[in-house]
Amino acid sequence: MVRKNAVQKPVVRTRAQSSSAFETAQAVLAGGVSSPVRAFQAVGGTPLFIAKAKGAVITDLDGNAYIDYVGAWGPLILGHAEERAQAAASKVLDKGWSFGAPTEQETRLAVRIAADVPGIDMVRFVNSGTEATMSAVRLARGFTGRDLIVKCEGCYHGHSDGLLVEAGSGLATFGVPSSAGVPAGLTALTLVVPYNDLDAASQVFAEQGQRIAAFLVEPIAGNMGCVPPAGGYLAGLSRLCNEHGALLIFDEVMSGYRVGLRGAQGLYGIEPDITCLGKIIGGGLPVGAYGARAAVMEQLSPLGPVYQAGTLSGNPLAMAVGLATVEALHEPGVYERLEALSARLSAGLAEAAGAAGLPLFETRVGSMLGVFFQPGPVIDYASAKRSDTHAYARFFHAMLDQGIYLPPSQFETLFVSLAHTEEQIDQTIAAAAKAFAAIAA
């Protein structure tokens, strides 16, 4: 599927202004960035400073244009500066963008989410995915009266203290801090098991079931690269939680509205007890949400004893842009188009890697893609870590020089948007063919 007539991008000649901007930033921002992966340490080189973006294209300070497969790390499913989202933001800006009081926009978005997502009757908005998962864990503990949380190795649920854990040597181990500044006493309440390993999950419930408040999982892992759930895995987790009186929490911050209107739970037919959302429901503005059936959500203050609050939660700007984005996704043929574009890209990358004789294991769920520099299979964090990160770094920079912007880490997910065109997909495949050939040489 490597198309001979794909348009070729000229090699980028200079990024001098980005380099200068990064040097200035490092004096006043820790590491020169506001989120670590942006610093390009996993791939080397100097990060791009973005001046503007439209559709599927971002442009840096030096005027270099790139086809973007990061999409602000997932939320821009409609593309950059999409007209409907932009119009919704403009209307809010004319009237005021933060009140610290209820607005009709948050109710409208909550109604839409509750109608779309099977596991949600009621919603509470927050400002990030981290806040959503942190609050969902507190709610699960308050609802069950238990302390322990189970999560999977390699699944990232934000940077709250109790979830910044790494696995020990056993199949089911108490987590130890994976960041300085996190007390071991906090992560000791988090158990860590391998992703896609139902036996390990069964073992931890057999040993600690009466103390487990919730099992928190990305139903489609997106933070070790894109790793789909194995057949029966999510259903098995649901069964274990039901048997032991624990709650199943789906972290759909990434997959929510990305793989379908009903998220991963709609795709796989598994309804969790609590759902965490973010990214797409704000259309690229700071947002998060968690929701559940009414009996669970009514434990939240002011109705119940579980406290959680936020000055900017449900702010009208994020709510309006999120609602415009979600409503656009209800238009006929939207997900079929995303599927066609993503399948075209995935097949083209596989063919290009095969032609170069390069071991490459690809994963895809809808418009989420993973590219692992190894023969595979990749089913969990341990197998993902076998990837050749040096080869990915070479691939990243070879693509960048041809005008293609990929995630600056082997262990991130590529996103296709509705703004991508078939020509841009073909251009990406042609660039990849050149990059793969260079790596294999």
Residue-wise pLDDT for 215-260, tens only, equals: 999 999 999 999 999 999 999 999 999 999 999 999 999 999 999 9
| pLDDT score recorded for residue 171 | 40
Mean pLDDT computed over every residue of the chain: 94
Residue 9 lies in a domain: no
- 241 and 370 belong to one structural domain: no
Residue 313 lies in a domain: yes
Whether the pLDDT of residue 83 is over 50: the answer is: yes
- 51 and 116 belong to one structural domain: no
- 320 and 345 belong to one structural domain: no
- 233 and 321 belong to one structural domain: yes
- 167 and 41 belong to one structural domain: no
pTM over 0.85: yes
| pLDDT score recorded for residue 4 | 42
The angle subtended at Cα 278 by Cα 131 and Cα 339, nearest 5°, is 155
Residue 4 lies in a domain: no
The CATH number for 405's domain is: 3.90.1150.10
| pLDDT score recorded for residue 46 | 95
Kind of pairing, strands 212-217 and 148-153?
A: parallel
- Among 328, 360, 385, the domain boundary falls at 328
pLDDT tens per residue, range 368-403: 999 999 999 999 999 999 999 999 999 999 999 999
- 234 and 308 belong to one structural domain: yes
- 289 and 435 belong to one structural domain: no
**What residues act catalytically?**
156, 251, 279
- Among 328, 350, 382, the domain boundary falls at 328
- Among 280, 308, 328, the domain boundary falls at 328
How far is the C-alpha of 37 from the C-alpha of 18, rounded, in Å? 16
**Number of domains present in the structure of the chain:** 2
pLDDT tens per residue, range 62-78: 999 999 999 999 999 99
Average pLDDT on 4-18 reads 62
How far is the C-alpha of 330 from the C-alpha of 334, rounded, in Å? 7
| pLDDT score recorded for residue 167 | 53
- 32 and 129 belong to one structural domain: no
Contact 219, 254 (CB under 8 A): no
b/e map of 283-319 (b: 16 or more CB within 10 Å)? Answer: bbbbbbbbbbeeebbebbeeeeebebebeebbbbbbb
| pLDDT score recorded for residue 91 | 96
| Spatial CA neighbour of 71 closest among 61, 91, 85 | 85
Residue partners of 66: CB distance under 8 A and separation at least 6: 48, 57, 58, 59, 60, 400, 403, 404, 405
Whether the pLDDT of residue 330 is over 70: the answer is: yes
Residue partners of 431: CB distance under 8 A and separation at least 6: 8, 9, 398, 399, 402, 403, 404
The amino acid present at 418, given as its one-letter code, is: L
- 168 and 274 belong to one structural domain: yes
Residue 125 lies in a domain: yes
Average pLDDT on 40-44 reads 94
- Using pLDDT thresholds of 50, 70 and 90, give the confidence band for residue 183: confident
Domain with 55 in it: 16-68+332-440
- 324 and 339 belong to one structural domain: no
